[in-house]
Chain A
Amino acid sequence: MSKKNKKQNKNKKVPFVSEQINEKTIPFFDRISKQINLPKREKKAMLEDFDKALIMLNASGVSFEEAMHRLDVVNLGGFYSRPATTWFPIDNAAKIYPVSMSSDNMALFRLSVYLKEDVIPEILQMALTFTIKRFPTFATSVKKGIFWHYLETTKRRYVALPDTGVPCHHIKVGASGSQTFRLMCYKNRISVELFHILSDGTGGMAFLKTIVAEYFRILGTPCESTNGVLPVNGIVSAGELTNEFPNVPTEGKPAGFMDKTAMQFGGKLSKVRPCQVLHFKLDAAKLKKVAKSRNATVTAYLLSRMFAAGRNACDEISGEFSVMVPVNMRKYYPSETLRNFSMYCGIREPLTDIKNADDLIPDITAQLEKKASKESMTKMVASTNNMIKLLRFIPLFLMAPVAKRVYGVLGEKIFSTTLSNLGVVKFPAEIEDKIESLDFVLGTVSTNRLACSSVTFGNTCTFSVSKNTADSSFEDCFYELLCADGLDPVVEGSVLIED
């Protein structure tokens, strides 16, 4: 070993262990050091991450040899040693997000997994360090081109942080090399918050699942790359990075964006958005049974309760409520892409018709069938593609102010709220029993008072509400409706951040 390396490694002794063990770790740190070509401060921090993880594993009874094997340099895969030269155009659905964002309004979503034991932050940091290379579009910063924004690969130490208690709060993406996502942990929960520019729920879930699988591998429970977990050291396939929108065949007349302005739920808009997040934890089997007894899907059943609860949270007499329901395009056009590949439809109900939640179900079901059909979604994709084609030669500085206003009208005001249902999520069998539940939270937009989302893992369906108002009318009524159907949800959440 060169003198220089010896000197470098002098500072990388693992504290509290014998000199003999430290001697063994020197070649380990030497190899890692050679694989990290980052600025000094970041390199030092990364070496410290390895250091802490080694100590942590050893403290849990793993020998240093085994710990070094689990944290082997091969898992870095050259990601931190090669210069960043790649970039990715933003997919068609996400092009609007950087244009319409402001200092405190950003399209975000959050996915969390609750483990049966408390999360070890040092191991989670290593899991992220090893996983990020497998998701090249996530290892990026947002940049401005002349005509469109783009994602530029950023080689840096991606950080796992402690949870701040303000879910889906604005991510600062402005500084050079900033992260466009946040990985956090709190007690037994691992959460990832993603700027929607990177991916949709499906891609985000693949990212979270892979981090969780890597976390458990480091802790000594490796698992197969199944059920959406990607092999962290595997080769990235081109299909995972594809913008699938241009590949959707254009059939029929483009349509789908324009609609009437919807009524908004009541309540004063809060300054901090979202000001509270609530999770209704439901028995999934019971929920399915209740929905089936009403000849409805779970989504249609939840929508009917949302309309009824929304009616309770609004003083208006006339007008329409409209709930945006994102539709995963992968079910119509199978794709392995991890980028955005979703569209949406609006389920509308006049306020005057909202009297009994069950009475709404047939109409909601009919609307879902029609508006979320392959044909309708394909037309909407065609509209999106046409719009992108139309705007592509307009410089950003001209387009951005107009797009921001148009998005306010077409993207926010035509909806009262959102319901995004990720469906049933599965993990590989080896780690499934170590996971308690999941949740999925949508960031809020500036006009709507709340956004709803749901995800099911095992026998727990978590329905989440992210709120933009302190008014609790919606969730109180929603809770009562669920209780009336015998679902008796357990309600968890964050404290209300008051203005």
Chain B
Amino acid sequence: MKIDYTYPVPEKKIRTRRKAQYVCLLAFAVLGIASIIVNICVGGKAWSAIACWGLFMVYSLTISPDVIEFNRIRQSVKIAVYSCIMIILIDRLLVSGWAVGVVSIVCFGVLIGVCVLLYTDFERQRHNMLPLIIFAVITLVGSSIIFINQKQDVIWQVIVAFSLSIAVLIECLIIMKSNFKNEITKIFHVK
């Protein structure tokens, strides 16, 4: 069978992530399982949960990133959420009593950072506000719970996170303006 080649010869080598992903997944799984086994054998605090979460974070953020909506806002929020979970895990499993302040700092820091990212490429990024809205709502709910539980001893970081989340939500509403109903409909549509 004689083939007449009618396509250009690819100039660049085609790279695929599949093999790298597979090798990394395997390596990370082995490391995760090994850490659990060692942790069980050695006993003591459940540090392997932190190790496993760290491995998942690295895998999800670098080796197998999102294929849809891989934009600066979503990625920043994803890193923030993963980091907060890591901080809470360290607080719960290793050294307690400091997570509320640090998580609050991460939250309001990310809210400020994401707003900067939004306004430095406003025309494009205003279509990616859903993760920001969700993150602001989570921050608001979280800080409100802390307010209710610790009426008198609320630290400044929580107050800043609470206020900033409200400010960000108002800002999002202003950006969406009359289009708010449309934005909400498309985000929550079930059609």
Contacts and interface: CB of A to CB of B under 8 A. Distances in A.
A165 interface: yes
Contacts of B182: 85, 87
A463 to B, nearest CB: 13
Interface in A184-209: 186-187, 189
Nearest to A141: B127
A277 B1 CA distance: 14
A177 B127 contact: yes
Given A144-B130, A490-B4, A176 B190 contact: no
Interface string B1-44: 11111111111001011110100000000000000000000000
B5 A495 contact: yes
A492 B17 contact: no
A: contact size bracket: 35 or more
A103 interface: yes
Contacts of B179: 85
Interface residues of B, number: 39
Contacts of B151: none
B68 interface: yes
Given A144-B130, A495-B5, A87 B186 contact: yes
Given A150-B186, A152-B127, A175 B71 contact: yes
B189 A148 contact: yes
Interface of B is mostly: loop
B125 interface: yes
Contact of B68 (A142, A154, A490): A142
Interface string B119-157: 000011101101000000000000000000000000000
B4 A492 contact: yes
Interface string A458-499: 000000000000000001100100000000001111110100
Most A CB contacts (10 A, CB to CB) among B6, B70, B128, B188 go to B6
A246 B21 CA distance: 39
A146 interface: yes
A278 interface: yes
Given A145-B186, A165-B7, 15 more contacts: A85-B179, A87-B186, A98-B68, A102-B67, A143-B69, A145-B189, A164-B11, A167-B7, A174-B66, A175-B70, A176-B125, A278-B3, A490-B4, A492-B6, A493-B6
Interface of A: 39, 84-85, 87, 89, 98, 101-104, 141-150, 152, 154, 162-167, 169, 173-177, 186-187, 189, 243, 271-273, 277-279, 392-393, 475-476, 479, 490-495, 497
